[in-house]
Structure 1
């Protein structure tokens, strides 16, 4: 158990090896669980939301205020799961707190799994041209929003005393310095270290916190590079798997990290990059 003093409000929750009593397929079953996914309408978030719903979880999608998407309805129809959306400006920590309050208190929902996926394009800005406004926005969306949501949902999970899961998203840019990524890369590195801190502090409440490191994934955020045939070819040459990744490549690993199959896995960094990090 952790060596630091526990918060008196949150009792410790033992970590039990369910593999001793549960058949392997059942370890991945998410029936009865609810996952909150930021940015769940598109890109990696969509792939993760789809994977979790197919494994049995109900889904709460945090979306950009005013965002119009038919994905939540399609997801509910194709999986038979409950899918709800909440508008929230992740650029505002106060807005995040209000949205979480609406989810947990106003609407009486419980959350078992938090997936911090939402992001904005933080690259392609030369360091000599970077502005305070853009830098601060990238930091807010990719770090402060992750911190605040993890704190709020982490407290909710600790209060419930039934354990839980938090999945964060970093980037290979956190470990491979890239030109015109002077804000995005370092901030994603901070997300990796934040994951370690969360994993260490929350383990005593049987809450596992892990982080995924995507490589070159074909999403709306990467459309600029994917759409440039020459640039795309250069990128693929750096990927041992020989292709761009797809949002659906995140389905399986998300289900693993959200399920009982990963109850003894916390603070882990998992690369979903076709082997790019090993080059």
Structure 2
């Protein structure tokens, strides 16, 4: 009975039975923001009532006891800008056919049980969103594989977090082309290979860099950090790196 309603926030309300498609939504045709995070649904997304709200721009369902896979209904939500499914028990990849989701700005999937390849997960993102996506968080999601070499094409990313997974392989030099990046957290993985100056080339806006607890190697000179004028926190600990200070003292990290 609220046909003009645009924002509905029901976070941390103790909800546990309002996910069913039997819920009447006939009058919520103008809804743009739906926040039901912090509830205890303990159910799947398969028959959720909000999949018919194709005008939604923000969908917040973090820490809500969601289980199972992400249904193909997501592909119909062409207006979505923010998807927050973090800290649930969702498994598997996002659906394949998401080519209509060209407005994505934030995707938060941390704290789930994806259990598959990060590269395959990212390849399912619509290419039309590569220039709109600003936040991609996939920490603690049981993800494996490599960070894709084409990561440098996601030119508007400001937050990239994939910490506490099982990611391997070298760090793509394309990361160094992400000129809008402010937060980069790839800690607690199994990345290997040599760190190059090219990994930092265009990261002038970077404020937080955490690559700790990996297997990265190489000798880092002051030239590596020359472009990082806005950096506030740097953690390279528990790698196989050597840092040459201005005094020519070599620090092992």
TM-score, normalising length from structure 2?
A: 0.29
Larger RCO, structure (CA 8 Å, separation 6 or more): 1
More helix by percentage: 1
Which structure has more strand as a fraction of its residues? 2
**Which structure has the larger Rg?**
2
